[in-house]
Amino acid sequence: MTVTVSVLGSGSRGNSTFIKTDQVRLLIDAGLSRKETASRLESIGEDPNGIDAVLVTHEHSDHASGLKTIVKDMAVQAYMSQGTMDALRAEDFEMNGSRLHTIKAGESFFIGDVQVVPIGVPHDAREPLAFSVECAGVKVTQLTDIGHLPDEISGWLSGSQVLILESNHDLEMLRVGPYPWALKQRLIGRYGHLSNTAVGRFIREQYDGSAEYFVLAHLSSKNNHPELARQEAKRAMNDRGFSNGRVEMTRQDRPTEPIRL
């Protein structure tokens, strides 16, 4: 049994993560166009048409803009909260063999050999979710678009071999950056996005150290730099004495190298 994980893209230009098991090929989010999704799957050696299911975190366009075309072009199972379904008006999408399913935070379900746990998160969307997926003892958790990380949410991350966590902005870069004040306030608010500093705090205070791959995601191109995010995470890891896990970075313009566990 091999579980393959590649973040096809992460950031304001589109989010999508590919996970493959022996039975299932799924996406977390469909924020890239159908064409771009296919291109990025091909670039990592995967079938561009080989998707069985899509897990949608929330309705924002950088996470869901490609869904309408995917459910039209491929027969997939799409899973999302009722709030996301309503915000997207997904029930009006043209379906050619695809099906929509509403799910609730904390209520796990199976897609083939994969157990999926939806996690309710604080973000400025209708009913946003994060997802933890597990297959044959391998647990992959992705948590982005979250304003803060309380203990009841961080607990869901425990035991993840692959942890994909938002590290959206550097607080000082955001402070002096070009964004209008209202947008800055939104980003740093309790329903916005996690900063590098918040990720460091999570590692120092809540992280269990179990991830073989700690993947930093959803980095802002204007208010962050990959090395700033990496250094903050690694400093916090060192403070806790965690030396086994690899800190990896996602990109907006290309997939990560596939992780195989």
Where are the chain's structural domains? 1-125, 146-251
Confidence (pLDDT) at 115: 98
Q: φ and ψ at 28, to 5 degrees? A: -95, 110
The CA distance from 250 to 202, in Å, is 19
Inform me whether the pLDDT recorded for 250 exceeds 90. Answer: yes
Share of the chain above pLDDT 70, in %: 100
Task: Mark residue 106 as left, alpha or beta (left: phi above 0; alpha: psi -120 to 50; beta: remaining).
Answer: left
Inform me whether the pLDDT recorded for 63 exceeds 90. Answer: yes
Give the confidence band of 1 by pLDDT, cuts at 50, 70, 90: confident
Confidence (pLDDT) at 258: 98
- Fold agreement (1-125, 146-251): yes
Give the confidence band of 244 by pLDDT, cuts at 50, 70, 90: confident
Mean pLDDT, the chain, rounded, equals 97
SS3 210: coil
**Under CATH, domain 1-125 is a member of which superfamily?**
Ribonuclease Z/Hydroxyacylglutathione hydrolase-like (3.60.15.10)
Q: What is the pLDDT of residues 114-160, one digit of tens each?
A: 999 999 999 999 999 999 999 999 999 999 999 999 999 999 999 99
Relative to beta strand 213-217, strand 162-166 is parallel
Inform me whether the pLDDT recorded for 243 exceeds 90. Answer: no
CATH fold of 146-251: Metallo-beta-lactamase; Chain A (3.60.15)
Residues pairing with 110 in the sheet: 115
Span 64-79, average pLDDT: 97
Give the confidence band of 56 by pLDDT, cuts at 50, 70, 90: very high
- Long-range contact set of residues 98-106: C-beta below 8 Å, sequence gap at least 24: 98/70, 98/71, 98/72, 98/74, 100/71, 101/77, 103/79, 103/129, 105/81, 105/129
Q: What is the pLDDT of residues 210-236, one digit of tens each?
A: 999 999 999 999 999 999 999 999 999
Confidence (pLDDT) at 156: 96
Contact 71, 40 (CB under 8 A): no
Relative to beta strand 53-55, strand 77-80 is parallel
Confidence (pLDDT) at 245: 80
Lookup: tokens for 113: 């050999």
The CA distance from 19 to 51, in Å, is 10
Confidence (pLDDT) at 35: 95
Q: Is 170 exposed, middle or buried (0-12, 13-18, 19+ CB in 10 A)?
A: buried
Q: What is the pLDDT of residues 179-211, one digit of tens each?
A: 999 999 999 999 999 999 999 999 999 999 999
Q: What is the pLDDT of residues 154-178, one digit of tens each?
A: 999 999 999 999 999 999 999 999 9
Global pTM? 0.97
